[in-house]
Amino acid sequence: MTKPRSGEAVNPHVTDVERRPGFLARDRLQELFDLILQSGYSILGPVVRDGVIQFSEITAVERLPHGVGNQQQPGRYRLQTGAGSSVFAWNHGPQGLKPLCFAPKEHLWSEQHQGLGFQLELPQQKLTAVIGVRACDLAALAIQDRHFLEGEAADPHYQKRREQLLLIGVDCSHSAETCFCVSTGDGPALDKGYDIGLSELNEGFLIWSGSTKGKQIVHKLSLQPAEDRQLEQMLQMTTQATEAQQRQLPEADLLMGLYQRLEHGHWWEVAERCLSCGNCTAVCPTCFCYDTQHALALDGKSAQKVRQWSSCFSAGHSSMTGFQVRTNSMQRYRQWLTHKLAGWQEQQGRIGCTGCGRCITWCPVGIDLTEEAETILWEGSLDV
Ligand code: SF4
Ligand code: SF4
């Protein structure tokens, strides 16, 4: 299941002639912005705000985080300067693509007491281009798509937002200390799920299209053919990001291994540190649990159905009529990790983790799912 780590990175754009990029000089990046804006999209781009890199509406390349990198460790995130003229030398901040399609809180429908049933309110989402999306987050979006769009009926709220997105992906040239996308097979080079792909070189950008929507924009840029040395530099960068990864998931049968160790003593050791704060599920780009509430107006004439994100770690999430299934942090953490790495394989055919490392960086006590899974799988006796 787990892809073995290797120093040999594969960048599909270097090896696939059909997807061979063109070159855009650094001082021409605004032309790409302008074409996207002229196509009717607003742009969400990475900016420095509140001490992190996060997506914000921008129109000019000047707003990008010039020369800014970051340092990420368990329970720690710090911005760094000194990345030269680069604008994509950072790793993702706390925010993935999830909130753009699966809103943290929204009205699903409203009802008026007229005997006419309910009325569906769809979100008023505008065309939105997101610049700087990483491979792990594209893989996470594919997982969310499978959950919300495939099956018996697509979620119309998610679907409406999803259809409006244009995704401009960027190859990762650096890995944070908490990244492990190589071991999940989801990065660091772009592979699929983007409309336009970028790779940042010292002198500018390699750029290529990944979809018909993307092609319509890219073909309006007059690009220079990429030189072999530029393609070589692109491969070197993703190789460097691959080799820099210090973490990985255990190379084991995670599904059987975790199900056989539900009574392992280490679950209790994690629970002694875990605050049940839910940060890990909030930042996780694949977590899709939610609660719904039916709120009746005081006059009894109207009601609204509201949906908001929920978490394995919130007390109410496991409430059944009259009792709570998971009453403590041990049971909640165990539920989260076994669903993510085992149950998800049964439901979706892959693990529910794309190795972004956010749950490690943003856990206030630095709990690290790669270490916890390793300990549970390989230390102590098998207790079934
Ligand atoms: S479980 Fe952690 S590392 Fe995996 S996708 Fe979620 S936040 Fe990222
Ligand atoms: S593992 Fe960390 S982030 Fe997740 S609930 Fe526990 S303390 Fe919070």
pLDDT of res. 375: 97
What residue's CA is closest to ligand 1, atom 8? 356
Do 232 and 145 lie in one domain? The reply is yes
What residue's CA is closest to ligand 1, atom 4? 353
Residue 296 C-alpha to ligand 1 middle, in angstroms? 36
Do 183 and 285 lie in one domain? The reply is no
C-beta of 283 in contact with ligand 2 (< 6 A): no
Residue 141 C-alpha to ligand 2 middle, in angstroms? 22
Residue 201: how many other CB atoms lie within 10 Å: 20
Residue 1 falls within a domain, yes or no? no
Do 65 and 214 lie in one domain? The reply is yes
Do 258 and 212 lie in one domain? The reply is no
Average pLDDT in the 64-79 region?
97
Distance CA 103, CA 309 (A): 8
- Position 190 pLDDT exceeds 80: yes
Specify the ligand 2 atom closest to the Cα of 276. Answer: 5
Find how far residue 97's CA is from the centre of its chain: 6
What residue's CA is closest to ligand 1, atom 1? 353
Q: Which of 243, 274, 289 is the last residue of a domain?
A: 243
Nearest Cα to Cα of residue 250 among 169, 335, 176, 353: 353
Do 217 and 262 lie in one domain? The reply is no
Give the confidence band of 17 by pLDDT, cuts at 50, 70, 90: low
pLDDT of res. 316: 81
Q: Which ligand is nearest to the CA of 369?
A: 1
Do 314 and 221 lie in one domain? The reply is no
Distance CA 44, CA 167 (A): 10
Do 258 and 338 lie in one domain? The reply is yes
Residue 383 falls within a domain, yes or no? no
If one compares 304 and 193, the residue with the highest pLDDT of the two is 193
Across 59-68, 195-204, 280-289, 301-310, least confident range = 301-310
pLDDT of res. 7: 44
Domain with 346, as residue range(s), is 254-378
Q: What is the pLDDT of residues 207-238, one digit of tens each?
A: 999 999 999 999 999 999 999 999 999 999 99
Q: What is the pLDDT of residues 72-128, one digit of tens each?
A: 999 999 999 988 899 999 999 999 999 999 999 998 888 877 766 767 778 788 999
Residue 318 C-alpha to ligand 2 middle, in angstroms? 17
Nearest Cα to Cα of residue 181 among 146, 145, 134, 141: 134
Do 316 and 264 lie in one domain? The reply is yes
Residue 4 falls within a domain, yes or no? no
If one compares 18 and 51, the residue with the highest pLDDT of the two is 51
Q: What is the pLDDT of residues 351-370, one digit of tens each?
A: 999 999 999 999 999 999 99
